[in-house]
Amino acid sequence: MKLLIRNLSRATTEAELKAMFELHGVVQSCTLVMDKASGNSKGFGFVVMAKPGDAKKAMKSLNGTVVAGSKIRVKKDESSDKV
C-alpha cells in the first residue's frame, strides 16, 4: 500500500522517514519529493509498505504526530488506485 506523508519538516531525511515506518512493518520504498532547483525537500513524500495491514497501522499510529517540529499527516495515496 502506498502512503502519502505531508507536512514533513524540510530537514527530515529519507532515512529518518523510512525508519519511522519500519517500526510498523516492511517498507518496500521510501521517497521524499525534492525541489529540482534548490535540491531541498518539498515537505512531502511517499512510503510503500508490503502489507496493507501494516500500512494501516502505521497510518493510524503516525498521522498527527510531531516529527522534527512539524505535525505530519499520513494517508493512503489515492492516485495509486487510478491505474
Domains of the chain by range and CATH?
Answer: 2-74 (3.30.70.330)
pLDDT band at 79 (very low <50, low <70, confident <90, very high): confident
* Number of other CB atoms surrounding residue 25 within 10 Å: 18
Residue 82 has pLDDT above 60, yes or no: no
Residue 80 has pLDDT above 90, yes or no: no
In this predicted model, what pLDDT tens digit does every residue of 27-73 receive, in sequence order?
A: 999 999 999 999 999 999 999 999 999 999 999 999 999 999 999 99
Residue 83 has pLDDT above 60, yes or no: no
74 and 30 Cβ atoms separated by less than 8 Å: no
Instruction: Supply the pLDDT for residue 81.
Output: 63
